[in-house]
Amino acid sequence: MTKGAIVSRAEDFPRWYQEVIAGAELADNGPASGTMVIRPWGYGIWELMQAELDRRIKEAGAENAYFPLFIPEAFLKLEAEHVEGFAPELAVVTYGGGKELDEPLVLRPTSETVINHFFSKWVQSHRDLPLLINQWANVVRWELRPRLFLRTREFLWQEGHTAHATESDARAYALRILNHVYRSTMYDVLSMPVLTGHKTARERFAGANRTWTCEGMMGDGKALQMGTSHELGQNFARPFDITFSNASGTLEHVWQTSWGVSTRLVGGLIMGHGDDFGLRLPPALAPAQVVVLLVKDAPEVRTAADALVAELRAAGQRVRLDDRTDTGFGRRSVDWELKGVPVRVEVGPRDLAEGNVTVVTRHTRRKDNVALRAVAGTVAGVLDCAGDDLLAEATAAREARTVDAGSLAEAIEAASVGFARVRLGALGPDGEDRLAEHAISVRCLQRPDGSLAEQGDAEGDLVAVVGRSY
């Protein structure tokens, strides 16, 4: 197998990332600076992620809705930390229908403000709680150093917004989303062994009391924040006046959460599993799980390929037939490898004369000569284990690149190639500033055993996972 015409990860990881995105036809830069076109292969991956997330979100009781892109400027200013956090990233519409607008409209960077405006109308009584809303939408943040899938000026995401009667209900729901929607999707669908924990005050969402996060390790040892779930306390309930009459008729402010994941997940998938030959997709996220390639066009080859496609489709797999034999077989094979299709079934006249085809497993690059009647079983076997294999490989890679550090200096050294775990107390009061000088940050705080902190845990005894981040 000739190697795909992409640079190796070791040589130049950022360039490798760009070349995989271009070569696998995942995305393109849009004509307006910092924007992105998500091409069908990239969008197909996103659609599969969306379906898995959406199912879990609905299982958690939230309903989908849609709120406007346009937010009056005044709304953004109601929560002080929130506006401070987002002001530098806003895009503003000043003309509409050929006229200058009386009030400029901000394009939503996130929808806390507009959604909470409506929550204040919709919530009256404790019987209206919990109110659990999600939306799938595009959002706009004027990023200065855009990067496809990771930071683009417009991106696609879901954002959940909820209101609860008590602080503990809100906390429980934020954690339910973290664990049963985000962590579950990342482990079971993306095959990515994310670490979960909460952010330090410096890193948390503008307007949150606590931000829970999923942090993945990329192929270069850097961290990617892949999803966050925020406890907002009553920070928005007060300025937006979201109150309910409790069982005894007294008015109280609600307790809230918000949470989101975005097309950034596609970037995480690329950098989490890709190898020097391109993307490697877990079968759950592969727009095509199997591609059946005609090595050459010949009647018996086509007949055998068609029969295999029909057999594999009947088994419920997403299968494509590649019969573009006017393009060289080697070129097509490399292209499907770049795109990360989990299994290739190569049907050629020579193998076929002996009743065989070649089955190539993408994540191991193993090739097997397989009898026609055994193909379905072999393919099913690969699709069954590929996700678990990728998860195990990523877990081993993360563990190999994670060091327990006893001091700030040790943490800084370790974080140059991966993650360091260090007691927060050992970082000292200016620890985060010192880390920042080396472009390192605290990705999340956990208990020493890796579990989530609970109320009452002494912050200084928690372990900070530190690393460089995207």
Q: Which stretch binds a copy of itself (CB under 8 A): 3-11, 130-138, 216-224, 413-421?
A: 130-138
* Contact by Cβ (8 Å): 259, 163: no
Least Å from the CB of residue 57 to a copy of itself: 12
Task: Output the CA angle 329-332-336, nearest 5 degrees.
Answer: 135
Residues 6+ apart with CB under 8 A from 15: 7
Least distance (Å) between residue 395 CB and a copy of itself: 32
Whether 343 contacts 320, CB under 8 Å:
no
Check binding of 299 to a copy of itself (CB under 8 A).
Answer: no
Q: Which is nearer to a copy of itself, 98 or 456 (CB)?
A: 98
Residue 19 Cα distances to 4, 201, 271, angstroms = 10, 36, 12
Is there binding between residue 89 and a copy of itself (CB under 8 A)?
yes
Nearer to a copy of itself, 100 or 454 (CB): 100
Least distance in Å: CB of 468 to a copy of itself? Answer: 24
Q: Pick one of 98, 299, 429, 456: the residue that binds a copy of itself (CB under 8 A).
A: 98
| Cβ nearer to a copy of itself, comparing 213 with 263 | 263
Q: Footprint of a copy of itself on residues 314-343 (CB under 8 A)?
A: 324, 326
- Contact region with a copy of itself (CB under 8 A), list: 90-98, 165-173, 293-301, 360-368: 90-98
Distance CA 284, CA 301 (A): 29
Q: CB of residue 98 vs a copy of itself: minimum separation in angstroms?
A: 6
From the list 208, 189, 190, the residue with the least C-alpha distance to 198 is 208
434 binds a copy of itself (CB under 8 A): no
Binding of a copy of itself at residue 92 (CB under 8 A)?
yes
Choice from 144, 248, 299, 437 touching a copy of itself (CB under 8 A): 144
Q: Does 206 bind a copy of itself (CB under 8 A)?
A: no
Task: Give me the least distance between CB of 370 and a copy of itself, in Å please.
Answer: 30
- The least CB distance from residue 465 to a copy of itself, in Å, is 31
Which residues lie across from 446 on neighbouring strands? Answer: 463
Q: Does the protein bind a copy of itself through residue 149 (CB under 8 A)?
A: no
> By rule CB under 8 A, what count of residues binds a copy of itself?
56
Q: Is the dihedral of CA 106, 111, 112, 115 positive or negative?
A: positive
Q: Does 449 bind a copy of itself (CB under 8 A)?
A: no
By CB under 8 A, residue 76 contacts a copy of itself:
no
Tell me which of 1, 87, 201, 371 binds a copy of itself, using CB under 8 A: 87
Tell me the CA distances in angstroms from 389 to 52, 109, 341, 395, one per residue in order. 20, 37, 15, 10
Q: Rounded CA gap, 146 and 130, in Å?
A: 37
Residue closer to a copy of itself (CB basis): 72 or 381: 72
Residue 96 found at the interface with a copy of itself (CB under 8 A): yes
Site string for a copy of itself, 56-75 (x = CB under 8 A): -------xxxxxxxxxx--x
16-24, 103-111, 290-298, 457-465 -> range binding a copy of itself (CB under 8 A): 103-111
Choose the stretch contacting a copy of itself; rule: CB under 8 A; options: 82-90, 167-175, 360-368, 383-391: 82-90
Residues whose CB is less than 8 angstroms from the CB of residue 399 and which lie 6 or more positions away in sequence, other chains included = none
Q: Is residue 124 part of the contact set for a copy of itself (CB under 8 A)?
A: no
Q: Please spell the DSSP secondary structure of 314-367, one letter per residue.
A: HTT--EEEE--TTS-HHHHHHHHHHHT-SEEEEE-HHHHHTTEEEEEETTTTEE
CA separation for the pair 192, 147 (Å, rounded): 21
The string over 130-161, giving b where at least 16 C-beta atoms fall within 10 Å of a residue's C-beta and e elsewhere, is bbbbbbebebbbbbeebbbbbbbbbbbbbbbb
Interacting residue with a copy of itself among 140, 270, 279, 408 (CB under 8 A): 140
Q: Which of residues 25-44 bind a copy of itself (CB under 8 A)?
A: 28, 30-32, 35-40, 43-44
Q: Which amino acid is at 91?
A: A
> What Å distances lie between residue 142 and 32, 77, 223, CA to CA?
12, 18, 22
- β-strands 223-233, 210-217 pairing: antiparallel
Could you say which of 57, 105, 266, 345 contacts a copy of itself (CB under 8 A)? 105
Q: Euclidean distance between the first and final Cα of the chain, in Å?
A: 33
For a copy of itself, the closer of residues 106 and 237 by Cβ is 106
CB of 191 to a copy of itself, least distance (A): 23
**Cis amide linkage into residue 130, ω under 30° from 0:** yes
Determine the Cα–Cα distance for residues 155 and 149; give it in Å rounded to an integer: 8
**For residue 50, which phi and psi values (nearest 5 degrees)?**
-55, -45
Report, in Å, the least distance between residue 344 CB and a copy of itself. Answer: 20
Site residues for a copy of itself per CB under 8 A: 28, 30-32, 35-40, 43-44, 46-47, 63-72, 75, 87-98, 104-105, 107, 114, 117-118, 121, 127, 133, 137-138, 140, 142, 144, 153-154, 156, 324, 326
